[in-house]
């Protein structure tokens, strides 16, 4: 059975949740506001990417509980395929939306006039609906695999599992989406390879083509402000880096698993890289949207004002306390003199 180091995995999950949730909530509020006022294709795509990340973060506590319980699934069974489905579906859904953003940015600089004339929010809405449906259909394998083979029926009771294990001498414990039988692997491993090719390799190649040409074109445009040009180029390189580092290791595990015909022991560790994507996406939002930068600036300014008010209150209280104390000391001294 694959094992995820408790300290490492729990640390990554907690950091991702603590940093990613408030950042994505702020991004969600910003994009909702922008889409209501004046929708643009890139805002619609980033809004859907934010929703995907928020779904991922909302189901992340189930992974935390699983890791804390030494990868033993002690929660209701229905939560196992549901949490796994949302967990994996949102990871792969992110690759689609990141790719769509790269295409949108490339077309904007490569064909500015033609693209601006044909740029319609409805196209982004249609693409978003397709991405959600396609991801849901592809990751439905999570619900199907547990039903392959009678010994892995989801309706098998824990006591029956325990007795079967004691009879067969198998040391397997009740886990979620692990320890697959040979019939299950015959279905799962080819599907994982297909997920790697369709949901990672192809989107990554498209994103690489779009951002490399995006950078090449921007480097030749001298009429754009240098600072703005460098920021856009840095955003493109950063997005490709996030794409490769977050999604690459986990998808490589699919290829290795197909070749060796078993899940690699390091698959859970590779999944941690994909987890980080939920708190790295807000950085892409920050550099991609002036509205997000404006809201972040407003939040920081609000925090500064509150801190200044708190510090002013503390200083005022200390000053008032000092004046009161001085007055009391004078009165006490006068009382001593009168007593003498």
DSSP letter string, 301-340: HHHHHHHHHHHHHHHHHHHHHHHHHHHHHHHHHHHHHHH-
Whole-number Cα distances in Å, 186 to 37, 183, 192, 193, 253? 50, 5, 11, 12, 16
Residues 6+ apart with CB under 8 A from 218: 109, 224, 229, 232, 233
Q: What tokens does 169 get? A: 């001498």
List pLDDT tens digits, range 95-143: 999 999 999 999 988 998 888 878 889 999 999 999 999 999 999 999 8
pLDDT value for 339: 47
Helices within 38-153 (DSSP H only): 41-68, 79-110, 112-118, 121-138, 141-144
Mean pLDDT of 221-238: 81
- What rounded mean pLDDT belongs to the chain? 82
Q: Give pLDDT, residue 320.
A: 64
Give 212 or 318, the one with higher predicted confidence: 212
Those residues with Cβ within 8 angstroms of residue 111's Cβ, 6 or more apart along the chain or in another chain: none
* Predicted local distance difference test score (pLDDT) of residue 251: 94
**Residue 146 exposed, middle or buried by CB count within 10 Å (0-12, 13-18, 19+):** buried
Predicted local distance difference test score (pLDDT) of residue 169: 40
Of residues 91 and 173, more confidently modeled: 91
Distance CA 112, CA 124 (A): 17
Give helix 226-260 / helix 267-275 axis angle, nearest 10°: 160
Tell me: pLDDT of 262 over 50.
yes
State residue 287's pLDDT score.
Answer: 67
**pTM of the predicted structure, to 2 decimals:** 0.81
Give the span between the Cα atoms of 94 and 326, in whole angstroms.
64
CA torsion through residues 255, 259, 262, 267, sign: negative
Look at residue 321 and tell me whether its pLDDT is greater than 70: no
Q: Which residues contact 129 (CB under 8 A, 6 or more apart)?
A: none
| Residue 186 scores a pLDDT above 70 | yes
**Token pair in block for residue 268:** 């859970």
Output the furthest CA–CA distance in the chain (Å, rounded): 102
Q: What is the mean pLDDT of residues 7-31?
A: 91
Question: Can you tell me the mean pLDDT for 320-332?
Answer: 55
Q: Rg of the chain over CA atoms, in angstroms? A: 27
- How far apart CA 37 and CA 246 sit, in angstroms, is 33
Stretch 168-197: mean pLDDT, rounded? 79
The pLDDT of residue 205 is above 50 = yes
């Amino acid at each position: 059975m694959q094992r995820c180091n408790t300290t490492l995995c729990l640390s990554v999950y907690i950091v991702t949740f603590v940093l990613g949730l408030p950042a994505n909530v702020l991004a969600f509020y910003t994009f909702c506001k922008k889409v209501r006022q004046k929708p643009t294709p890139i805002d619609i795509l980033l809004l859907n990417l934010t929703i995907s990340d928020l779904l991922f973060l909302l189901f992340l506590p189930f992974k935390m509980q699983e890791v804390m319980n030494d990868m033993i699934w002690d929660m209701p069974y229905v939560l196992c395929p549901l949490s796994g489905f949302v967990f994996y579906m949102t990871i792969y859904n992110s690759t689609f939306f990141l790719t769509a953003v790269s295409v949108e940015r490339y077309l904007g600089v490569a064909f500015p006039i033609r693209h601006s004339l044909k740029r319609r929010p409805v196209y982004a809405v249609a693409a978003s609906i397709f991405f959600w449906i396609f991801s849901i259909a592809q990751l439905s394998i999570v619900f199907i695999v547990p039903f392959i083979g009678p010994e892995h029926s989801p309706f098998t009771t824990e006591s029956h599992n325990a007795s079967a294990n004691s009879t067969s001498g198998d040391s397997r414990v009740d886990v979620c989406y692990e320890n697959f039988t040979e019939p299950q692997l015959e279905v799962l491993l080819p599907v994982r390879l297909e997920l790697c090719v369709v949901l990672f390799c192809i989107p990554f190649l498209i994103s690489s083509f779009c951002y490399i040409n995006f950078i090449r074109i921007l480097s030749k445009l001298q009429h754009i402000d240098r600072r703005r040009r460098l920021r856009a180029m840095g955003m493109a390189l950063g997005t490709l880096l996030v794409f490769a580092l977050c999604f690459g290791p986990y998808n490589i595990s699919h290829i290795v698993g197909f070749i060796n015909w078993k899940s690699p022991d390091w698959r859970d560790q590779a999944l941690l890289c994909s987890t980080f994507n939920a708190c790295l996406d807000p950085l892409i939002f920050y550099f991609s949207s002036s509205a997000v930068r404006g809201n972040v600036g407003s939040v920081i300014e609000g925090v500064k004002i509150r801190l200044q008010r708190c510090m002013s209150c503390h200083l005022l209280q200390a000053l008032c306390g000092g004046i009161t104390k001085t007055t009391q000391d004078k009165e006490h001294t006068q009382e001593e003199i009168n007593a003498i």
